[in-house]
Amino acid sequence: MKRKFAPVALLFAAILSLAALAQTGTAAAAAGAPAAAPAAPAAVAGLNKVGIINIQGAILASNEGRRDLEALEKKFDPKRTELQNLNKEVEDLKKQLSTQGDKMNEEARSTLVRNLEAKQKTMQRISEDATNDYQQQQTEIAQRILQKMAPVIDKFAKDNQYSLLLDVSQPWPQGQVLWFGAGSDVTKAVVDLYNSQSGITAPPTSSSSSRPTSGTTAPKPTTTTHKSPTTTAPTTQPKSQ
């Protein structure tokens, strides 16, 4: 079973909170600063320094994000197994109906059809409940990490004299950044700084537990008749254009 992660849309609300945190921090700093402390003229010189950061990629690539999301994956493995077993039962009933249905009497065939429909409804309900639960917990993890990562980003930007950092979690045209050079990407630098401050070591990797990739989904049945919504996760490493 591949490791799977939440959709971009679910993390979007968490990403927006970064701007709110930054604004709150700026307002708080301004409120606590002496009234007679004008901005130094020298600060104007750095106003044209712009960088880009993939917030979603930073969350997923951080040691804390990898650890907690991999733990979430393992937590839902039993549910995936349950859905796989239910799906097999549904497919077996379909096969029986297809190969033997015309040979059954009306009562036996009706019973088989009712069993199939009941099993499909049960599988769909369990799948939807598991997907919603999975996505909710995943979003909570992302928001929690982002709350702690926001001040790290703020400090990084100030220490390196950035006047603007743009989030490129959403590729153009969904996002607003059309093009950027590789040298302007500060995602890895922020992740490294966050990892060093968090004190959390990188989780072990193996063939069965590797860093998440894009295009993965939350728990769902494999039947083509009753699928839960597909959920696509962002890549762990931002792409440079």
For residue range 46-64, list pLDDT tens digits in order.
468 999 999 999 999 999 9
Band of pLDDT at residue 146, cut at 50, 70 and 90:
very high
Total residue length of the chain: 241
Q: Is residue 18, in this structure, part of any structural domain at all?
A: yes
* Each residue's pLDDT tens digit, 160-181: 999 999 999 999 999 999 999 9
The rounded percent of the chain whose pLDDT value lies above 70 is: 66
207 lies in some domain: no
Instruction: Determine phi and psi for 240, rounding to 5 degrees.
Output: -90, 140
Is residue 35 situated within a structural domain?
Answer: no
Its pTM stands at 0.65
Distance CA 191, CA 53 (A): 10
Taking residue 117's Cβ as centre, other Cβ atoms within 10 Å add up to 12
| Residue 226 covered by a domain | no
- The answer to which of 51-55, 161-165, 202-206, 210-214 has the lowest mean pLDDT is 210-214
Q: How far from the centroid of its chain's Cα atoms is residue 13's Cα?
A: 11
- The number of folded domains in the chain is 1
Tokens of 229: 């919504």
Amino acid present at 231: T
Q: Is residue 95 part of a domain?
A: yes
Instruction: Report if residue 180 sits inside a domain.
Output: yes
Domain that holds residue 161: 8-23+54-198
pLDDT tier at 226 (50, 70, 90 boundaries)? very low
28 inside domain: no
* Band of pLDDT at residue 4, cut at 50, 70 and 90: very low
* pLDDT value of residue 133: 97
The verdict on residue 221 lying in a domain is no
Where residue 218 falls among pLDDT bands split at 50, 70, 90?
Answer: low
Q: Could you give phi then psi for residue 205, rounded to 5 degrees?
A: -115, 150
Cis peptide bond prior to 173, omega within 30° of 0: yes
Q: What CA–CA distance (Å, rounded) separates 8 from 231?
A: 8
Report the chain's C-alpha Rg in angstroms: 24
Q: Pick the residue with more confidence: 130 or 40?
A: 130
Q: Which pLDDT band, with edges at 50, 70 and 90, does 101 fall under?
A: confident
